[in-house]
Amino acid sequence: MAEKFRYGPLVYNHFEDEQESGNYWWPGPPPVAYQQPSGRYKIPIDANGNECLPGECILHPGCRVEEWEAFELFKVPSLSWCKSWFEDNFLIVSDYDVCRYILRWMGHKYGSEFGYDEAFKKWYKGKSLDEMIGEIWPDVQIS
């Protein structure tokens, strides 16, 4: 039995799989390795080196966000837009978890790799994850 490729909450299935124990059906060529096996982003790649993770998924560090929400200090990716990708792929994910993924993506986007946005940097400093989620999305139940 071949080892399943994983990325965050995704466990990959593909059409050549003998077993269907994963939760995410990847429609392209099967993953064969990880992009950065010992690096920060361990995105599965196919035999041609193409990423096996859509750029419209908030789990992707370079996610191409299409819908935004206004927060008092900066804009954030839309919770409903981000969650729709999971729903479209038949994945059950709580609003709380999607908020976590959005904040992680914002950390990548606004983090040292991309240059800090001062408003974001000042806002999150010293806050817990639950505090951040509660401020941006007050209607989301904190787990």
For residue 115, the enclosing domain spans 68-136
Residue 141, domain member (yes or no): no
Same domain, 81 and 124: yes
Q: What is the rounded average pLDDT of the residues 15-20?
A: 76
What span, in angstroms and rounded, lies between the C-alpha atoms of 39 and 125?
25
Task: Encode 113-126: b = buried (16+ Cβ within 10 Å), e = exposed.
Answer: eeeeeeebeebbee
Q: Is-contact 76 102, C-beta < 8 A?
A: yes
Q: What is the largest CA-CA distance in the chain?
A: 50
62 within domain boundaries: no
- Which pTM value belongs to this model? 0.88
d(CA 133, CA 79): 11
Residue bearing the bigger pLDDT, 18 or 42: 42
Same domain membership, residue 48 and residue 72: no
